[in-house]
Structures are given as C-alpha cells and as structure tokens.
C-alpha cells in the first residue's frame, strides 16, 4: 500500500497575511527554518524551529515543522509528540492531524490514524486524501466494506484518484470479486498509466482467470515501467508455460533468479533442465 508524508514544511499563516516586519521573532525563525528545510538542510532547520519554540512556546507552526523534520529524520515517535503539541495549541490545524495520522500509520497504529483522518474530514470534508488514507488504515484492519466507503468518497471528490481505484481493486480481490478488480485496475491505469503495480496486479488476476495472453500483456507493460520486478518475470514465465511457450517460460524464470527471486528455481528444475 502507498504511504507518504505530505504537506511540505508549512509556512505560518501570518507570513502571507501580513508584511514581514509585522511577524514575531518566532515566526521569522520558522520561516528561516522552512527555507533551510526546503534546501534539504534538516539539521539547521531543526535548530531554527527549536529556537522558534524557545522564543514562543505557543507557536503551533514551529512544532508542526519540527515534527515534519523529525519524521524526515526517521524519528517518527518524536514527530508524533510535536504534531500532538501543534494540535493542542491549534485544534483546527488540519495539516498537523493529517501528518500525525500518517506517522501513526508508520507506527502501525491504524486506530489512532483513523481518529486523526476523521478529524481532518470534519475540518475539511472535501479532502480526498483524508478519505483515501483512512480507507488504507481500515484495509490494514481488514475492515474491507468500510474501507470501500472511504475509497468511494475519495473518488467522488476526485474521479482521477488512481490510487483509490487501485486500493478498491485490492479490496475486491480480497473479496473474490475478480472481474470487478480487473475493471478497477483498468480505471486506475486510465487515470495514471505509469505505475507498474497497476499492470502487474491486473496481470496476476488475469493469470488466475486463465487469461494468459492478457496476463503477459500486462506483465510486459509492468516490466517496461519497472524492469527490476523479479517476481513479475517469474509470473510471466508461468503464463508463457501455460501458453506452451517453454523457451519463453524458462528465459523468464532464469532471469527472475538472476534478479534474486529464488522461488523460480523450482520451475527451472522441473521444466527447463534437459533429462540425462
């Protein structure tokens, strides 16, 4: 499943609302920290955010941006503490709830993530990503029907949300509704035709449905987009085998092994070695 930290370093609202000379010292430090962070100087950015907090311990944006920097430095627990402080200071801080939810997902605390995404939706009911990521959290909790409702809500707001179609397809696959899953992968591809996973997963379903030619077509596209998908070579080899193309099958299995997918070795041993 897809996950990411969003909302780049957040400029304090007052920075755009008032002339620079009207900013407090703490707000100016946050802006300087943002500039450092956007240049990739996370340690310097962190120092500036900490100075901003020392200067004004009620500056929610300073905590938010320090949390963001901590997350980028793989200090997820530390980021959660700072995001929490930000929402304690500003209970309407949508970005802080959203990013804390993503951090909770990194920590596999999907229940806490759902609570924060729900808060984001209360504050911004037209945020498709909040519905989408809440659906992802529900998926991991095996709450498939509820996840589908959230993916549908995201798509109602943004009908081009490719990952929402993709995750709906994952749910439908879990529910055994393979024709619907194929349709949803097709819709994901129509919205964004450059993701190898979309083609690979659709190919896997076609393979299960014994549509081997269709599966090979999807595997071909997936490997064009990402030639390092070792298991996809193995799966394409399986499809070739059932299409009675033994040479093509063996070539794909052997290449999968070269890329590190050792499970293909049993297929090579069974079908590719000449009898003595």
Asked if the model's pLDDT at residue 1 lies above 50, the reply is: no
What confidence score (pLDDT) does residue 6 get?
Answer: 41
pLDDT in tens, 7-30: 444 443 333 344 556 899 999 999
What confidence score (pLDDT) does residue 22 get?
Answer: 85
Residue 18 three-state SS: coil
What confidence score (pLDDT) does residue 212 get?
Answer: 98
Contact, 1 vs 151, CB < 8 A?
no
Contacts of 44 (CB under 8 A, 6+ apart): 33, 36
What confidence score (pLDDT) does residue 19 get?
Answer: 55
Mean pLDDT value across residues 192-220:
98
Q: How far is CA 237 from the centre of its chain?
A: 29
Rounding to the nearest 10 degrees, give the CA dihedral for residues 80, 81, 85, 88.
70
Q: How many CA atoms lie within 13 A of 76 on its CB side?
A: 12
Global pTM? 0.88
Contacts of 147 (CB under 8 A, 6+ apart): 135, 136, 138, 139, 167, 171
Asked if the model's pLDDT at residue 153 lies above 90, the reply is: yes
User: Using alpha carbons only, what angle is made at residue 83 by residues 20 and 48, rounded to the nearest 5 degrees?
Assistant: 40
Burial (Cβ within 10 Å: 0-12, 13-18, ≥19) of residue 171: buried
Task: Using the structure block, give the residue that is written with the tokens 């080899």.
Answer: 237
pLDDT in tens, 225-276: 999 999 999 999 999 999 999 999 999 999 999 999 999 999 999 999 765 4
């Amino acid at each position: 499943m897809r996950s990411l930290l969003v909302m780049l370093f957040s400029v304090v609202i007052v920075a755009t609302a008032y002339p620079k000379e009207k900013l407090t010292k703490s707000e100016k430090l946050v802006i300087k920290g943002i500039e450092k962070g956007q240049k990739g100087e996370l340690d310097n950015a962190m120092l500036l955010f900490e100075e901003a907090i020392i200067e004004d311990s009620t500056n929610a944006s300073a905590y938010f941006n320090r949390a963001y920097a901590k997350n980028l430095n793989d200090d997820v627990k530390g980021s959660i503490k700072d995001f929490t402080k930000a929402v304690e200071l500003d209970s309407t801080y949508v970005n802080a709830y959203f990013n804390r939810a993503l951090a909770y997902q990194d920590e596999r605390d999907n229940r806490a993530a759902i609570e924060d995404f729900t808060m984001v939706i209360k504050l911004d009911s037209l945020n498709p990503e909040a519905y989408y990521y809440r659906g992802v959290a529900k998926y991991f909790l095996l709450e498939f029907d509820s996840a589908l409702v959230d993916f549908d809500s995201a798509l109602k707001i943004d009908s081009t949300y490719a990952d929402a179609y993709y995750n709906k397809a994952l749910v439908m696959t879990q529910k055994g509704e393979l024709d619907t899953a194929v349709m949803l992968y097709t819709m994901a591809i129509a919205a964004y035709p450059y993701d190898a996973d979309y083609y690979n997963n659709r190919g896997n379903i076609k393979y299960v449905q014994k549509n081997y030619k269709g599966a090979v077509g999807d595997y071909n596209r997936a490997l064009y987009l990402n030639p390092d998908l070792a298991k996809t070579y193995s799966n394409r080899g399986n499809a070739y085998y059932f299409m009675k193309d033994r040479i093509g099958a063996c070539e794909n299995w052997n290449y999968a092994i070269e890329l590190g997918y050792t499970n293909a070795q049993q297929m090579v041993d069974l079908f590719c070695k000449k009898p003595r």
